[in-house]
Amino acid sequence: MNGDENTVFIGSKETMNYVMAVVTQFNNGSDEVVIKARGRAISKAVDVAEITRNRFVPDAEITDIVTDTEEIPIEEEDRTTNVSSMEITLKL
């Protein structure tokens, strides 16, 4: 785990937006970038890591992939729902 520095959160934008965010972090001198996603965005997080490595930063390696389950409160209801989360660490 680390702070939000060097972290790219995957949301609903196009995959290549996040690839460029990761590549930019490496180009700015980071030697480690963490890609975080929840729920359906997890598939996109894996695409981002794979595309970054295969096309843009061939020296980057996936050094760690961690999954977890997070409890998310449901708005206006008095209960929570579970959602899977994933963190992928890319390192030079």
Sequence-separated (6 or more) residues with CB below 8 Å from residue 49: 22, 35, 62, 88, 90
User: What 8-state DSSP symbol labels residue 60?
Assistant: -
Taking the least distance from each CB to a copy of itself, the nearer of 5 and 50 is: 50
Please identify, among the stretches 1-9, 23-31, 66-74, the one whose residues bind a copy of itself according to the rule CB under 8 A. 66-74
Complete edge-to-edge strand list for the sheet that includes strand 61-73: 7-9, 32-38, 80-91, 61-73
- Residues 18 to 57: which contact a copy of itself by CB under 8 A? 39-43, 46-47, 49-50, 54
Contacts with a copy of itself by CB under 8 A lie at: 39-43, 46-47, 49-50, 54, 62, 65, 67-69, 82, 84, 86, 88
